[in-house]
Amino acid sequence: MAFFDSLSRRPISRRGLLKAGVLGAAGLALYSGEIERHWIEITQAEVQLRGLADAFDGVQIVQLSDIHMEEYTEPFFLRDAVDKINRMQPDAVLLTGDFVSDVPRSKHFAAGAAWQCASILSELRCRQLYAVLGNHDVSVGEQNIIEALTAHGVTVLRNAYLPIERFGDRTGGRIWLAGLDDPCKGDPDADLAIPVSIRNQAKEPVILMCHAPDYADDLLVTPAGRAVDLMLSGHTHGGQVRIPALGPLALPELGRKYVEGWFRFGKMQLYVNRGIGTVGLPFRFACPPEITQLTLRSA
């Protein structure tokens, strides 16, 4: 007992405290920079859409977002994400922006990273590949990003829409897939992406890709936005570094209200994906990278 009493009374030196702090910081940096940053979480959910045709019941959609190729996302890490998606065997893959980063390197470097990113994405066995641009993509030069993606089989929707049709033995159906230009750096036009001709059609729900989730508030006050059944966004990285009891250290413009996960606004559902990349620093803490696997169900 005397031995333990003497230990409890022994003061901790300033050097000891400093050493413990340095070791703790090094361990935290190693964990957040190498372990959690590369630890992809697969989020699975069933999404009920009112009016979804029976032919689409059970269709699998995968969402991948915020790759930020070569700011910190390495080719091997994106290939790991692609391999995970291939094992899911989805019917469609939706890519919700920020394929590259506008800092810290040059636009020329980002253009090269876009082609590298698109080349790896072409390894996806699902050929129904659709994308919208993010704020970083627009900042570095959207045409370079669009050319890289389209050359590798990815359809980019920029204030545009298209039908996805599916037919069974006796029934058929249609989903309208719409995509907005980035709300932060681009020029989004909901009336072009969701024109009157596709709004509120029986058994023809609208799925919207829009990089910045807080733009949902602007959409919901428009007839076009109120016709959306499901909106898929990224942009926030879920906060990227989340401090227990405090939350995210930093959040981007138009990504401070709807940070991650599910939100509902009457008819419209919103899902905010945490993405797989990082910006600023190559760290994630209490906020691992994410791939979302959605199964569509008739409501």
CATH number at residue 278: 3.60.21.10
pLDDT of residue 81: 98
Residue 279 domain-assigned (yes or no): yes
Overall pTM > 0.75: yes
Q: Which residue has the higher pLDDT, 106 or 292?
A: 292
Encode pLDDT of 136-152 as tens digits.
Answer: 999 999 999 999 999 99
Q: Decide which of 238 and 28 is more confident.
A: 238
Q: How many structural domains are present in the chain?
A: 1
Tokens, residue 173: 């159906």
Is 2 contained in some domain?
Answer: no
Residue 210 structural domain: 15-298
**4: pLDDT confidence band, cut at 50, 70 and 90?**
very low
Q: Is the peptide bond before 104 cis (omega within 30 degrees of 0)?
A: yes
Residue 110 lies in a domain: yes
Distance of CA 48 to CAs 141, 200, 269, Å?
Answer: 37, 16, 9
State how far the Cα of 238 lies from the Cα of 261, in Å rounded to an integer: 8
Whether residue 10 lies inside any domain: the answer is no
Q: What is the pLDDT of residue 177?
A: 98
Domain presence at residue 4:
no
Q: What pLDDT sits at residue 6?
A: 45
